[in-house]
């Protein structure tokens, strides 16, 4: 039986504000990729902390007045309450299990309980269950290598959170990213790969011939390791951007675009994601302004042409956002700087959608594998790192193109190279 209570606005007073226990409230939406990522994390936390914390979910779309009253403008938004008052830090966007766990521990004043860990041995450890990691597992498991795939969230990575993938070979036109991931997972399962997700990773030790991964309840050892932990959207580096995250600053147009019906919005960025999401936002907004730091887009020619001929879209070139302005829970305007003239100007807007690239999830490997200045793991097409027996695949490695198909290709190469390494070195 689930420990999560689904309520509506009429029950908010009795179930949340009058609760004797601290309350964790998830405001979610339909057709929201970050909400789908959070759902199993929320379930996992409810199982672990349900005796001390009340876990509640409220659909934001069906309870708009309450959401607006609380200043919630993004899905998902997680809020904590205690003794009828909001406490702690709000969580929004694509959330990881460690983020949610740490927020709960702050409220309870706890640390994660110490438990006796089990030890497991494998031929190959793959960190990350996105397109790269799953592709690698298909190749290693099919080669009859004892393979474990570990992910801190649910399988899929960025691919699973992409609703429309229009350029993946062998698919019938446009498909959901989750469909591709589900098929990969089934293939990996059929070849015998073991996939464990919702596993918080505490430490990775690559210093010896046997590679070690410590999680919340198990220590994994293997003769070779493939890093496929991917990347996450880069935050807007502007004054006030963090303060208004989920209150006017967004990172998912699919999740939050509908709330800007007949309003003015800004899209920051000039790659495929920025231009395609700007086009998507014209379904709702009266005006969409794209702000880009260069004098040309990096998006595909088709996307550029569609955006530039759309009467609702205008573009401001050679500029960056310096400050986000607002009152309370409402964003009012942004300050931008022209990088050539150094002039600043204010743009009135109701919302900002940010698509300025990604940041690699390489924290666990810093000081062990060679990273470039942006934190990506340095590797060529062989997927080898500077450490013998350690390979890297997908968005976390240095490469000029990051797509689902290139992540899958990396995974295939890394899987084959891992197999060759074991044959030649053991």
Predicted local distance difference test score (pLDDT) of residue 112? 52
Q: In the chain, which residues have pLDDT < 70? A: 1, 110-115, 160-164
Q: Helix/strand/coil (H, E, C) string of the chain? A: CCCEEECCHHHHHHHHHCCCCCEEEEEECCCCHHHHHHHHHHHHHHHHHCCCCEEEEEECHHHHHHHHHCCCCCCCEEEEEECCEEEEEEEECCCCHHHHHHHHHHHHCCCCCCCCCEEEEEEEEEECCCHHHHHHHHHHHHCCCCEEEEECCCCCHHHHCCCCECCCCCCCCCECHHHHHHHHHHHHHHCCCEEEECCCEEEEECCCCCEEEEECCEEEEEEEEEECCCEEECCCCCECCCCCECCCEECCHHHHHHHHCCCEEEEECCCHHHHHHHHHHCCCCCEEEEECCCCCCCCCHHHHHHHHCCCCEEEECCEEEEEEEEECCEEEEEEEEECCCCCEEEEECCEEEECCCEEECCHHHECCECECCCCCECCCCCCECCCCCEEECCCCECCCCCCHHHHHHHHHHHHHHHHHHHHHHC
- Annotated catalytic residue 32: no
Predicted local distance difference test score (pLDDT) of residue 160? 66
How do residues 63-110 score in pLDDT, each as one tens digit?
999 998 998 888 899 999 999 999 988 898 878 888 898 889 888 876
Catalytic entry in 255, 350, 395, 410: 255
How do residues 183-212 score in pLDDT, each as one tens digit?
999 999 999 999 998 888 999 999 999 999
- Annotated catalytic residue 35: no
Domains of the chain listed by start with CATH number = 4-108 (3.40.30.10), 118-232+358-425 (3.50.50.60), 249-354 (3.50.50.60)
Q: What is the pTM of this model?
A: 0.81
Catalytic entry in 256, 350, 395, 410: 256
Catalytic entry in 26, 35, 123, 252: 252
């Amino acid at each position: 039986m689930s420990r999560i209570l689904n309520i509506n606005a009429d029950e908010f007073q009795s179930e949340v504000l009058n609760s004797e226990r601290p309350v964790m409230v998830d405001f979610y939406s339909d057709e929201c990729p970050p909400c789908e990522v959070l759902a199993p994390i929320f379930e996992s936390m409810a199982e672990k902390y349900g005796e001390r914390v009340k876990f509640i979910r409220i659909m934001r779309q069906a309870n708009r007045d309450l959401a607006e009253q609380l200043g919630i403008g993004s899905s998902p938004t997680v809020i904590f309450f205690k003794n009828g008052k909001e406490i702690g830090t709000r969580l929004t966007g694509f959330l990881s299990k460690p983020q949610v766990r740490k927020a709960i521990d702050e409220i309870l004043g706890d640390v994660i309980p110490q438990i006796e860990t089990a030890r497991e041995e494998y031929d190959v450890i793959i960190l990350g269950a996105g397109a790269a990691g799953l592709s690698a597992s298909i190749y290693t498991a099919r080669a009859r290598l004892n393979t474990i795939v570990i992910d801190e969230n649910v399988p899929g990575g960025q691919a699973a959170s992409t609703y429309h993938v229009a350029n993946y070979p062998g698919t019938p036109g446009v498909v959901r990213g989750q469909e591709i991931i589900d098929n990969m997972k089934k293939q990996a399962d059929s070849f015998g790969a073991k996939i464990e997700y919702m596993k918080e990773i505490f430490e990775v030790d690559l210093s010896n011939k046997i590679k070690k991964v410590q999680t919340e309840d198990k220590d994994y050892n293997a003769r070779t390791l493939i890093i496929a932990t991917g990347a996450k959207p880069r935050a807007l580096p502007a004054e006030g951007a963090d303060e208004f995250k989920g209150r006017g600053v967004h990172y998912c147009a699919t999740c939050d675009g509908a709330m800007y019906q007949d309003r003015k919005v800004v899209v920051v960025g000039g790659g495929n994601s920025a231009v395609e999401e700007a086009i998507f936002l014209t379904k709702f907004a009266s005006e969409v302004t794209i702000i880009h730091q260069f004098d040309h887009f990096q998006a595909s020619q088709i996307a550029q042409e569609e955006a530039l001929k759309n009467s609702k879209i205008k573009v401001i070139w050679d500029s960056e956002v310096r400050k986000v302005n607002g009152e309370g829970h409402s964003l009012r305007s942004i300050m931008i700087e022209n990088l050539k003239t150094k002039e600043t100007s204010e743009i009135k807007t109701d919302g900002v959608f940010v698509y300025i690239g990604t940041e690699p999830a390489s924290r666990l490997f810093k000081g062990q594998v060679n990273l470039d200045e942006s934190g990506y793991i340095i590797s060529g097409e062989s997927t080898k790192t500077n450490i013998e027996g350690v390979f890297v695949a997908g968005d976390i490695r240095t490469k000029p193109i990051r797509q689902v198909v290139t992540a899958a290709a990396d995974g295939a190469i890394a899987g084959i190279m891992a197999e060759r390494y074991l044959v030649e070195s053991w």
